């Protein structure tokens, strides 16, 4: 019997290998908004690139798409219940399953983009329910109510973390006094370690991972702090003060060659942090309040930081090393940003998707189009995968062909 089960398991894994072993996560392969695609269009037709397909009826949500192999995943709310969706690359729904009660209070909608890796899909609800399902067929594997299990308080606009995995650990910023941040077994949901951090509430953020030679460091943000935690055992290595008006720190930090950049909205802006060689300490290098986007993120290209300010006054370019303003222009509404094949992709909260070239002293608007479907806020981040641009607008997911002929 064991032999038969083993063969069946191997066959199942073989079927999954085409896509489920591929990791699909928030803001791309490195969680930095950079998509390593080539052969993309350098300009779009006046009406925008060709729309391959769209799905209307996802329900309320701000989750982006997650593309793993030949499957497209996202999430939405229907009548108060959160659903995970799986489509093939032609837009045919493969499965749709509920994962529980979701956030329908102020700014209703699914907050988090699914994480897909090693044949599993993970989703965190606005109420702190973390669910793991089979990425192939949506079947239930395990779930943990992290707020109830670890005695964490929910926050004003609901938990909004895009989950991160590192090998055999799945991380979640609970915001409890003792279990401020936890590492769970991604196969079972069982606790591996818990860190008290600084005992602050979670702050709508999505963590980053610093991979050093001798240790991995989880970087996450809580109400007033940036935390550096040993990903192996949960030890708090260092913290940097980063308070703002509403304790909202929704952007993912970025690490590059010994330095870490974090940015928050509501006028707080960004801070550059020097990380010691062994990761055990950190110190401030500079601050700049101009780029202070609440949740649109930023990209770093050729030593320059690109992103929008919180109030929508302009899109900025800062020098990575010094934090000095290089240039600023109001080329579209404030929003989110990604980068691929030499060009910036901007998605304004005004519903405009723009292709822009970063020049030495300005942004060059190349092409743009208005999002034709969906409802409510334009908050979901853009995604590029396999020559396609994925645009989520509330109830609708649109997929555009951006490959050169």
The answer to whether position 7 is within a domain reads no
The answer to whether position 85 is within a domain reads yes
The answer to whether position 5 is within a domain reads no
How many folded domains does the chain comprise? Answer: 1
CA-based Rg of the chain, rounded to a whole angstrom?
Answer: 20
Name the residue among 402, 396, 289 with its Cα closest to residue 338: 402
Tell me which H or E stretch contains 28. Answer: none
Whole-angstrom Cα distance, residue 64 to residue 383? 7
The answer to whether position 337 is within a domain reads yes
Instruction: List the beta bridge partners of residue 48.
Output: none
The helix/strand/coil state of 103 is: coil
The answer to whether position 11 is within a domain reads no
> What 8-state DSSP symbol labels residue 157?
T
The answer to whether position 2 is within a domain reads no
What CATH number is given to the structural domain containing 237? 2.130.10.10
Whole-structure pTM value: 0.94
Name the residue among 394, 391, 378 with its Cα closest to residue 72: 391
Q: Where does residue 247 fall: left (phi above 0), alpha (psi -120 to 50 degrees), or beta otherwise?
A: left
The answer to whether position 230 is within a domain reads yes
Whole-angstrom Cα distance, residue 111 to residue 204? 9
Whole-angstrom Cα distance, residue 171 to residue 205? 12
Whole-angstrom Cα distance, residue 386 to residue 89? 10
Whole-angstrom Cα distance, residue 116 to residue 133? 10
The answer to whether position 97 is within a domain reads yes
Q: Which domain holds residue 115?
A: 23-400
Please list the pLDDT of the chain residue by residue as tens digits (405 residues).
Answer: 232 233 333 344 444 444 456 899 999 999 999 999 999 999 999 999 999 999 999 999 999 999 999 999 999 999 999 999 999 999 999 999 999 999 999 999 999 999 999 999 999 999 999 999 999 999 999 999 999 999 999 999 999 999 999 999 999 999 999 999 999 999 999 999 999 999 999 999 999 999 999 999 999 999 999 999 999 999 999 999 999 999 999 999 999 999 999 999 999 999 999 999 999 999 999 999 999 999 999 999 999 999 999 998 999 999 999 999 999 999 999 999 999 999 999 999 999 999 999 999 999 999 999 999 999 999 999 999 999 999 999 999 999 999 998
């Amino acid at each position: 019997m064991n032999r038969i089960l083993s063969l069946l398991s191997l066959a199942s894994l073989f079927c999954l290998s085409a896509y489920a072993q591929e990791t699909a996560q928030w803001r791309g392969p490195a969680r930095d908004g950079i998509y390593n695609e080539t052969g993309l269009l350098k300009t779009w037709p006046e009406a925008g690139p060709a729309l391959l397909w769209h799905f209307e009826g996802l329900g309320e949500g701000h989750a982006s798409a997650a593309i793993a192999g030949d499957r497209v995943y996202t999430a939405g709310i229907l009548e108060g219940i959160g659903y995970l969706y799986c489509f093939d690359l032609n837009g045919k729904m493969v499965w749709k399953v509920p994962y529980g009660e979701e956030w329908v209070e102020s700014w209703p909608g699914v907050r988090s983009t699914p994480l897909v890796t090693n044949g599993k899909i993970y989703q965190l609800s606005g109420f702190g329910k973390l669910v793991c399902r089979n990425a192939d067929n949506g079947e239930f594997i395990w779930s943990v109510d992290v707020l109830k299990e670890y005695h964490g308080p929910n926050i004003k606009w609901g938990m909004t973390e895009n989950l991160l995995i590192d090998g055999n650990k799945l991380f979640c910023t609970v915001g409890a006094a003792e279990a401020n941040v936890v590492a769970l077994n991604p196969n079972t949901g069982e606790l591996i370690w818990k860190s008290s951090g600084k005992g602050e509430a979670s702050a709508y953020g999505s963590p980053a991972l610093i991979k050093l030679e001798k240790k991995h460091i989880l970087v996450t943000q809580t109400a007033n702090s940036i935390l550096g935690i040993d990903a192996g055992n949960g030890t708090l290595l260092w913290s940097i003060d980063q308070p703002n008006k509403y304790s909202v720190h929704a952007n993912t930090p970025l690490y590059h060659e010994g330095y870490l950049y974090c940015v928050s909205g509501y006028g707080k802006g960004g801070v550059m942090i020097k990380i010691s060689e062994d990761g055990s300490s950190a110190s401030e290098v500079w601050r700049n309040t101009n780029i202070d986007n609440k949740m649109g993120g930023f990209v770093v290209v050729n030593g320059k930081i690109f992103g929008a300010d919180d109030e929508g006054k302009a899109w900025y370019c800062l020098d990575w090393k010094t934090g000095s303003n290089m240039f600023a222009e109001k080329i579209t509404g404030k929003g989110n940003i990604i980068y691929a094949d030499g060009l910036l992709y901007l998605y304004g909260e005004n519903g405009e998707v723009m292709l822009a070239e970063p020049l030495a002293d300005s942004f060059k608007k190349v092409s743009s189009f208005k999002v034709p479907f969906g409802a409510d806020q334009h908050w979901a981040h853009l995604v590029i995968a396999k020559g396609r641009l994925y645009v989520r607008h509330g109830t609708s997911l649109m997929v555009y062909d951006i490959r050169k002929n």
